[in-house]
Structure formats: C-alpha cells, structure tokens
Amino acid sequence: MSPMLDGQAPMEAGCAEEGPGPRIFRTEPGDSLQRPEAQQPPTSWAGRWCSRRCSCAVLGALGLLAGVSVGFWLLGLYPGPAASQLIPGTLQDEKTTLSCSEANGKEALPPSLSRTVSFRINTEDFLLEVQVRPLPGWLLVCREGWSPALGVRICRSLGHLRLTHHKGVNLSDIKLNSSQEFAQLSPGLGGLLEGVWQPRDNCTSGQIVSLKCSECGARPLASRIVGGQAVAPGRWPWQASVALGSRHMCGGSVLAPHWVVTAAHCMHSFRLSRLSSWQVHAGLVSHSTIRPHEGAVVERIIPHPLYSAQNHDYDVALLRLRTPLNFSDTVGAVCLPAKEQDFPRGSQCWVSGWGHTDSTRTHSSDSLQDTVVQLLSTQLCNSSCVYNGALTPRMLCAGYLDGRADACQGDSGGPLVCPDGGTWRLVGVVSWGQGCAEPQHPGVYAKVAEFLDWIQDTAWVH
C-alpha cells in the first residue's frame, strides 16, 4: 500500500501522447530472464513503462528551449500565477478537476438491469426467495419443478462459487405470516433463471426450497483500523500471499478451499519456474511468521486464455491448490460480484497487500497493509491526462487524482473489495499503474465482473 507521497508534482494536464505509455506491473521483481519481454526492471511496483519515442524527446527538448527563452522575456512583463495545490483528504469532482480530452475512452454503460427475476437467500433459515417483477414483494419458492442444477445457477448468480446444500422444507414446520405468497416454476421451462415464475397462494407439494451456497464475504474477526496501517488477523480473511519458493511475489484472493485468484501477469512473469515452487499462504498478516514448506502447494496455474502481455488485458489467473485451505476465523473466501451488479463510481472500496509502502523502497512490507480507494469512471481514467485510452473494458480504475493512496509493487494480484451490505465482494484484481500514488495516475485493476463465467466455469470443470 502506498500513501500519498510528499513532493510529487502532478503530471501536466495537457500532454496527450500518441498512445498509452508503458506500464509496470505491481509484481515483485525477480529474475529478468523470466519477465515479459517488454517489461523493464521496475523502479516501483507500479512504475509503469514510461519511455517516450525518440522523436518526441527531440521535439520536446527543442520546445523546452524555445519555451524557456520566451518565458524569460515574459517574466518581466507579467507576474506568473500562484502554483495550484491539490488539497489532501478531499474528494475531487471528476468533471471539474481535469480539462483534458476524453476522446480516447468513452464511459461504458452499466449492463441493463431489466431482469425480471431476482433471488436472495434468507440468512436465518436459508429459505430461497424470488422477486418476480413487476410484483414488489419477495416470494418463497415452491419445491415443484426444483432441481439441483437450478440451485447451482442461482448460487452462481449471487456471487458464490458453488452450491453446498439444498432441501425441501415443510410449510407446516415454519411460521409464516398470513400474507406470505409463493412462486412456482412454470412446467416445461427446464429450470431457467429467467423463466416465467407463477405466483401462488400456496404450494401444492406443501414444501418450499431451502438453499445453501458456499460461504464467502464474511469477516468474523474484522477490526476497525484506519487505512494505511498494519492489518489485524482476520480483517481480510481472503487475502493470500502467492510465493515463489520462500519469496512473496504477488497477492491473491481466496475463492474456495481449493481456489485462489491472482493476476495473470504474476504467473507469466515467472512462467519458467517449476510449478512445485509456487505456494499460497493464507490467514497471515506478517511474512516473518512463515515457516518453510507450510504454504499450500499450487497444483495448477490457469491464466485467462486471452491474457495479453502487451496491453495487460484479461489480467486474471486461477490457482488450483493441491490440498484445500482450512477455513477459520482468519481464513475464508471472498464473494464474487452478483450477476449484473454495478458498483458506481465514487464507491469506497479497500485494497490490501504486502507491497511497497512508497515507490522509493525496494522491499515488500513485512506486515499486511490496507487502504481505502474510490472507484473512478473509465471515461476519466482513459482521458488524455490520465491513461490516454489504455484501459480496456476488462479493466477498472480506483484511487484518487491527488495520489493520496494506492497499491504498489508487490500488491499485484491482490484484492480490491467493496462492501455490499454485510457481504464483501471482489470487484478488482490489482494489475498495473504508473508509479505509486502518483497524482493523476490511480491504480488499474482487472474488472472481476467481466470474468464471472470464466472463473465459475473453470472452477466447475476442474
């Protein structure tokens, strides 16, 4: 985690480049022979590749000389304006802070929320409820037409990796108010989620559906700690450390006892390493407490098949563990976003990891750090004075334009989580950025909502 760095000047606002400049991943540096071909040794976990073309450098030098000579002439005629200061600790309005071209990136509209059917599970008795629009209320689900396959699809649509249990519950065994209504799948629809659900005053079978999905998104030992400080055990139980041998390389997020998600570039950078050398550590906050060979050995590395080392698109990978993690108060899974769930810009979310605490350091933090960042619009982050069109639809942006807080080198692959009521959802995977907490260069994350089907299908197949 990187707090705002003192003395950093914001990038000039009118300097649109011909294309997105190079970036540096937020991965621990290692053997240069095993890095992506285009990657240069990073000066910080996010010291993105920022080389200019030679022609641009020459023109820039000539322009600088001309500008200096004119500037000295004008200095005696007109007093210069006072330097503008960004005020730390205040949120900035995207519309008024930058006056740069937005032609390089258009804001992607959120997916249409026109679904006619929504589901939820009562946390007290695990009864499945469905809302059938335009009806306003929530209906208990009759067991008629029910199937385990439908339960799997419902769990997945709610952001869970799998179905763990389902059964029929006798209406005579529970207390219901007199106004409670029910819903039943229409015959012959094959259990489709978007199928026609028929409202009922009662269930002919006398049973309703009870459903349990895989547990996720809870923090049993969560504590109140200000962002940027060391984290107490159990605050982020899904936080994992992905290590090559005994060395921390990247962060990761626990999705299930056998599954961890991280950044694809973490594995691509060291793709020549032996598979048996990779380990995952969960439930720890300090690396100094790790003993040799106590991590979970990685059995399989599955990068997204469309991952691009050139523009960092599809920067996610799944790690299948040889032995399952033991869930406890300090080890647990994070929930995926629900289908078509939209976290709007300005949402306050958290990023955590063992990365550098500022861009000048060369070693990771021994203690797990966390900090609050806000979601920013793709339109803003693709503007000419931020990332100039470098973000794809599989990426999102989070942080602050004044650079007060950010992820840093060593945090790659780690979680960006946002609260959804009492549930925490994995919204982003730390991917890349320019510098650490640099003004006008917030962090860029792989957008988990774009990978839901791939993650769930991959975990199901394997």
pLDDT (average), residues 222-235: 62
Query: Could you tell me which residues are beta bridge partners of residue 56?
Result: none
- Amino acid identity of residue 30, one-letter, is G
Question: CATH number of the domain at 122-213, out of 2.40.37.20, 3.10.20.30, 3.30.1300.10, 3.10.250.10?
Answer: 3.10.250.10
The residue ranking higher by pLDDT, 110 or 189, is 189
pLDDT (average), residues 234-260: 94
Give percent of the chain above pLDDT 90.
50
pLDDT band at 46, cuts 50/70/90?
Answer: very low
Q: What is the pLDDT of residues 67-116, one digit of tens each?
A: 434 343 333 322 332 222 222 233 344 443 555 654 344 444 444 444 67
Q: Distance between CA 164 and CA 148 in Å, rounded?
A: 10
The lowest-confidence range among 26-35, 135-144, 178-187 is 26-35
Asked if 430 and 266 touch (Cβ cutoff 8 Å), the reply is: no
Whether 277 is catalytic is: no
Kindly tell me the number of DSSP H helices and DSSP E strands found in the chain: 6, 22
Most confident of 48-52, 103-107, 223-227, 254-258: 254-258
The domains spanning 122-213 and 239-329+454-461 adopt the same CATH topology:
no
- Amino acid identity of residue 47, one-letter, is G
Whether 312 is catalytic is: no
- Which residues, at least 6 apart from 126, have a Cβ–Cβ distance to it below 8 Å? 210, 211, 212
Q: Distance between CA 87 and CA 404 in Å, rounded?
A: 10
Tell whether the model's pLDDT for residue 366 goes beyond 90: no
Q: Among residues 138, 147, 159, which one has the least CA distance to residue 185?
A: 147
Tell whether the model's pLDDT for residue 264 goes beyond 60: yes
Q: Among residues 344, 369, 345, which one has the least CA distance to residue 356?
A: 369
CA 6 to chain centroid: 27
Tell whether the model's pLDDT for residue 300 goes beyond 70: yes
- Amino acid identity of residue 460, one-letter, is W
Give percent of the chain above pLDDT 70.
69
For residue 41, the model assigns a pLDDT of: 32
pLDDT band at 18, cuts 50/70/90?
Answer: very low
The lowest-confidence range among 88-102, 302-316, 417-431 is 88-102
Burial 396-408 (b: 16+ CB within 10 A, else e): bbbbbbbbbbbbb
Every domain of the chain and the residues it spans = 122-213, 239-329+454-461
CA 261 to chain centroid: 10
Q: Distance between CA 195 and CA 158 in Å, rounded?
A: 17
- Which residues, at least 6 apart from 400, have a Cβ–Cβ distance to it below 8 Å? 4, 91, 92, 373, 374, 406, 442
Q: Among residues 283, 306, 304, which one has the least CA distance to residue 295?
A: 283
pLDDT band at 34, cuts 50/70/90?
Answer: very low
Residue of 2, 157, 359, 412 marked active site = 412
pLDDT band at 288, cuts 50/70/90?
Answer: confident
Q: What is the pLDDT of residues 114-146, one digit of tens each?
A: 467 889 998 888 999 999 888 888 999 999 988
The residue ranking higher by pLDDT, 462 or 74, is 462
Find tokens 């008629």 and name the residue.
Answer: 144
Q: What is the mean pLDDT of the chain?
A: 77
Whether 246 is catalytic is: no
Residue of 44, 248, 315, 441 marked active site = 315
Tell whether the model's pLDDT for residue 254 goes beyond 50: yes
Sign of CA dihedral 319, 324, 327, 330: negative
The residue ranking higher by pLDDT, 408 or 34, is 408
E-only strand ranges, 388-440: 395-399, 405-406, 415-420, 423-433
For residue 249, the model assigns a pLDDT of: 92
pLDDT band at 37, cuts 50/70/90?
Answer: very low
β-strand 182-185 against 139-141: which pairing, if any? parallel
Sign of CA dihedral 207, 150, 137, 341: positive
Q: Distance between CA 120 and CA 171 in Å, rounded?
A: 19
Residue of 166, 265, 281, 356 marked active site = 265
Tell whether the model's pLDDT for residue 431 goes beyond 70: yes
Overall pTM > 0.85:
no
Q: Among residues 51, 455, 5, which one has the least CA distance to residue 256?
A: 455
The dihedrals phi and psi of 97, each to the nearest 5 degrees, come to: -75, -40
Query: Could you tell me which residues are beta bridge partners of residue 243?
Result: 248, 279
Q: Distance between CA 142 and CA 197 in Å, rounded?
A: 10
Roughly how many angstroms between the first and final C-alpha of the chain, as a whole number? Answer: 33
For residue 253, the model assigns a pLDDT of: 98
Query: Could you tell me which residues are beta bridge partners of residue 286?
Result: 367
Helix (H) or strand (E) holding 443: strand 443-447
CATH number attached to the domain at 239-329+454-461:
2.40.10.10
The lowest-confidence range among 25-29, 101-105, 277-281, 284-288 is 101-105
Q: Distance between CA 24 and CA 334 in Å, rounded?
A: 27
DSSP 3-state of 331: coil
